[in-house]
Amino acid sequence: MAAVYDHPVILFDGVCNLCNSGVQFVIRHDPEHIFRFASLQSTYGQQILSKYDLPLNNYNSFILLTNHKIYTRSSAALMVAKQLQGFIKLLYIFIAAPKFIRDGIYNIIAKNRYKWFGKKNECWIPTPELKSLFFE
């Protein structure tokens, strides 16, 4: 398996338009290229899910792997926002909200993401310049 802990790794639903837009947003607001990425459907994503005993076929969660720890759903998104450049990092204040409320809102969006934002037939392929940020 590739080096897992050198950089925080974001696992995302590779066919979800919202998720792919989110990854592209992170890339734009991460000028130091702190984050690495893998789709949940990829070999690498499946290995991480298996290693941390997470469901292998449930792509409803945004996952952050950092410092040997897994964050999911709203906690993962807020932990990522905290490390980005710009005003987006201010969203981290919502970490103070109870997790069941944050994840409740997250779950509504996750459940409806294909209906609201659409779905691709296959995973998004990064440009050659960005390929080094992705695990396959």
The pLDDT tens digits for 94-131 are 999 999 999 999 999 999 998 998 887 666 666 777 77
Q: How far is it, in rounded angstroms, from Cα 21 to Cα 51? A: 27
Residue 132 three-state SS: helix
User: Tens of pLDDT along 54-75?
Assistant: 988 877 788 999 998 999 999 9
Mean pLDDT computed over 4-18: 85
Residue 4 pLDDT level (bands cut at 50, 70, 90):
low
pLDDT at 3 over 60: no
Q: Is residue 2 scored above 50 in pLDDT?
A: no
Cα dihedral value 121, 127, 130, 136, nearest 10: 40
For residues 62 and 10, the answer to whether their CB atoms sit within 8 Å is: yes
- In this predicted model, what pLDDT tens digit does every residue of 12-30 receive, in sequence order? 988 888 888 899 999 999 9
The pLDDT score that the predictor gives to residue 122 is 62
Domain boundaries, the chain: 9-133
Contact 9/66 with Cβ under 8 angstroms? yes
* CA proximity to 40, closest of 129, 136, 118: 136
